[in-house]
């Protein structure tokens, strides 16, 4: 199935879910979710797979075991592409009632990955490359974010030239687009594709300098 856009009924579905996040609402409107959100999102990542890699859709159900918020369903649908062997540097896309969000980078790093990231940021060659790319993305309207330390990381100085980047424990760039007629057509795919291309240099830097963790996988809770 080729991607033809996200029907407006999908955004209406999420507006309703935000107002009534209940099993009754979900069950009553699940056909809308399948037809207007899940199936188009799968079609979108399938079409992008030859260029970026196979995508994975996130489950619509929230894990509420360790959360104070017990609402059972996510009010958005996300999908991620994290090519095997890359370790760090993924692409993300999300649709919800507010429109489309695209992002890339890394969201959670293990301690060994953080150590390699900081060594690369401090490196006289790799560090300026990352700083220049982050500045370029920010100037193009990307929001640069990621978990950060409040204090200077151990082993580094507050006088370090790239101290802001050194404080990061994760680093990603995000762009949000409000709904328009384009979202209901193949133009949505083209916008995701173009945005992900803009993130290729950031993701390549992370893949090269951070890579995969060497730690044992975290146990499932």
**pLDDT tens-digit readout, 149-158:** 999 999 899 9
Residues 114 and 111: their CA atoms lie apart, in Å, by 5
- CATH of the structural domain 8-209, one choice from 3.40.109.10, 3.30.9.30, 1.20.58.1290, 3.30.1460.10: 3.30.1460.10
Q: Is the pLDDT of residue 215 over 50?
A: yes
Q: Is the pLDDT of residue 61 over 80?
A: yes
Provide the residue ranges of all domains of the chain, joining segments of one domain with +. 8-209
pTM: 0.92
Residues 177 and 179: their CA atoms lie apart, in Å, by 7
To 10 degrees, the CA torsion angle through 29, 35, 38, 39? 170
To 10 degrees, the CA torsion angle through 21, 22, 27, 32? -10
Output the average pLDDT for the chain: 93
- C-alpha atoms less than 13 angstroms from C-alpha of 132 in its C-beta half-sphere: 8
Q: What is the pLDDT of residue 217?
A: 54
pLDDT in tens, 169-199: 999 999 999 999 999 999 999 999 999 999 9
Q: Is the pLDDT of residue 87 over 80?
A: no
- C-alpha atoms less than 13 angstroms from C-alpha of 206 in its C-beta half-sphere: 33
- List alpha helices for the chain, DSSP H: 8-19, 23-33, 39-52, 111-122, 126-139, 163-166, 187-198, 200-209
């Amino acid at each position: 199935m080729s991607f033809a856009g996200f029907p407006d009924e999908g955004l209406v579905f999420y507006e309703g879910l935000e107002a009534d996040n209940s099993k009754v609402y979900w069950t009553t409107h699940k056909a809308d979710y399948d037809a207007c959100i899940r199936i188009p999102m799968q079609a979108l990542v399938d079409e992008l797979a030859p260029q970026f890699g196979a995508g994975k859709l996130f489950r619509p159900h929230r894990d509420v075991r360790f959360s104070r918020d017990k609402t059972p369903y996510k009010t958005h649908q996300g999908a991620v592409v994290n090519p095997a062997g890359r370790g760090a540097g993924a692409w993300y896309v999300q649709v919800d009632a507010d429109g489309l969000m695209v992002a890339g980078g890394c969201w959670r790093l293990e301690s060994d990955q953080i150590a390699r990231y900081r060594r690369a940021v401090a490196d006289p060659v790799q560090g300026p490359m990352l700083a220049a790319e982050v500045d370029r993305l920010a100037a193009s309207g990307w929001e640069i974010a990621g978990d950060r330390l409040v204090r200077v990381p151990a082993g580094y100085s507050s006088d370090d030239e790239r101290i802001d980047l050194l404080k990061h424990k994760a680093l990603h760039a995000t762009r949000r687009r409000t709904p328009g007629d384009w979202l209901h057509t193949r133009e949505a795919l083209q916008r995701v594709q173009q945005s992900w291309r803009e993130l290729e240099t950031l993701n390549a830097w992370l893949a090269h300098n951070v890579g995969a963790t060497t730690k044992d996988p975290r146990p499932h809770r």
